[in-house]
Chains A and B, each alone.
Chain A
Amino acid sequence: MGFGSAFRKEWLEQRRTYRLLIVAVVLLLFGLMSPLLARYTPEIIRMAAPQGEEIIKLLPPPTAGDAVDQYLKNITQFGVLLALFMTMGTMSLEKDRGTAALMLSKPLPRSAFVLGKFASLALTFTLSLLLAGAAGFYYTWLLFGPPDPAGWLGLNVLVLIFLLVYVALTLLCSTMTKSQVLAGGMSFGLWLTLSLLGAFPRIGDYLPRQLTDWAARLGKGTGVDSIGNLSPLIDGRSGTYWPALAVSLGLIAASLLVSCLIFKRQEL
């Protein structure tokens, strides 16, 4: 009852305030554009640069792998920004404006209030990625030949988990403060920190950024087997991808748990 009514309201808000539309359109555009950019970048260089023909000779011909790289780079970069922007005010604004106090004077559990928000944002990103993934798959097929469907699906599932890590972390920041700007700043700081740490070989193996490397392998059809037999994939750099997945899921769960605990203690 509590979670259902909270989720229903949040999902209505996602649609009514155009959040779903914005996330879906932005991700869909990148889903469409990424294979196109990969395919036509040499043509663009040829037309735009004075010595384009010479430069083109130095570049290898575009492949489906380039489309996967473009797709991943764009979707994760803009997806994280969207996760931050769409989530940073979700708790702080309700506390600041007083709507949280009004609703929580009713028999609505505070944990349902928090989890309803996460679930609706997760659904927004899932549907948007579904669209973007379908568009990216179709254009990659058109321009480079058919990609592996299971690999492409695996890629998008990993991207979704990667984005949900930032949704959950931003939700935690938003729970901690009444200021939307402060919540955004804290989340941005966390993103930068995780991105920087992700660049270090040993530490990076355990952080969400590693999921994008795994996603790239799956998208390029070199790691699909690992989904079936659950055997660890060996990255060219050092270790396996499973710890990064476990840490990412753990970060999501921990962020939600801590958000609920903090929110339960807060005075409204």
Chain B
Amino acid sequence: MDAVRVEGLRKRFGRVTALNGLSLSVESGSLFGFLGPNGAGKTTAIRILTGLAGADGGRAWLSGIEVGKGNGRTARLLGYLPQEPAFYPWMTAAEMLDHVARTFGLNAAERRRSTEELLGLCGLKEASRRRIGGFSGGMKQRLGIAQALVNRPAILLLDEPVSSLDPFGRKELLDLIDGLRGRCTVFMSTHILADVERICDTVGIIDRGRLIVQASKKALLETYAAPVFDIEADSDQEAAFRSWTESLARVPWMDSTVFPEKSTVRVLVNDPAAAKRELLASAVKAGLVLTRFETVKPTLEDVFIKLVSRAGD
């Protein structure tokens, strides 16, 4: 049975369409990366799944129970970490976890055991008696994960769990999420592709409220395995280089370009053979002195940019 199933979900905020017929399904036990640019509708979809917001159309199911029609049964299946988890600043971490455990009806012994276990798992044991108001962003995020795990959820919904963290905090939290593999289905929204590439096994890409593609990470990279061209020009040719890359937009075999730095470009193409023939020649014709020209395997980020830019055309 699918852990998460969504069919034709629609949601509007005034004139803005947040979800435009979103459909997807997530297999039980998978670590699903819900990818999309900012404003694609990721948070709206998650809020509908949690029951905090209603859809204008379409339906959603969690472990076969329809969201909004289970009299709170779906809430018992879920763990939810909002994008910016908010806590009561006057509570301690242990009190917060105890309070959440009470809402699930856990008895005193279960609450005590769950609180201790989760504080240990999330590295907050030392801070268990400290008030949350004095916590750093990373500590709050870890407490957010801990509160989402109190009921040993079948499905864990994580909304941009690491976007506000520094690299060290990000690594810690991603390791923690990776460690949940096999314990529950993880549905993680993010716009940071490296994170998805690192821990997710299935990926869904959403743009403008619609699912563009959903597949296993491996299948996605194989399907969109057209090589990517990394080109680097001499640093004093920045203006000419930029003008040349702009001229590429008119070439039929090109999908999109990404600029990791000022004098380098990553060219995504739809016809590798034509690109191999014409790309280098075009750069030479433009009078550029290149210091590097190579074809590389695409990363998930390349696939994402290719798909999102195609959907936008």
Contact = CB atoms under 8 A, between A and B. Distances in A.
A151 B165 CA distance: 62
B99 A98 contact: no
Contacts of A97: 86
A1 B107 CA distance: 11
Nearest to A6: B103
Interface in B53-89: 53-54, 72, 75-76, 78, 80, 82, 84-88
Contact of A105 (B75, B90, B102): B75
B307 interface: no
B82 A101 contact: yes
Interface in B88-132: 88, 90-91, 95, 99-100, 102-105
Nearest to A101: B52
A55 interface: no
Q: Chain A contact residues (Cβ within 8 angstroms of B): what range? A: 20 to 34
B84 A107 contact: no
Contacts of B87: 99, 102
Interface of B is mostly: loop
A102 B76 contact: no
Contacts of A267: 47, 52-54
Given A2-B103, A5-B99, A13-B88, A105 B52 contact: yes
B175 to A, nearest CB: 23
A104 interface: yes
B50 A1 contact: no
The 9 closest A-B pairs by CB, nearest first: A98-B86, A5-B102, A106-B103, A105-B80, A267-B53, A107-B75, A105-B50, A108-B103, A268-B52
15 contacts: A1-B102, A2-B103, A5-B99, A9-B99, A12-B95, A97-B86, A99-B86, A101-B52, A101-B82, A102-B87, A102-B147, A105-B78, A106-B100, A267-B54, A268-B53
Interface of A: 1-2, 4-5, 8-9, 12-13, 16-17, 97-99, 101-109, 267-268
Interface of B: 47, 50-54, 72, 75-76, 78, 80, 82, 84-88, 90-91, 95, 99-100, 102-105, 147, 151
Given A16-B90, A267-B53, A267-B54, 16 more contacts: A8-B102, A9-B99, A13-B88, A98-B85, A99-B87, A101-B47, A101-B82, A103-B100, A105-B75, A105-B80, A105-B82, A106-B103, A107-B72, A107-B103, A108-B103, A109-B72
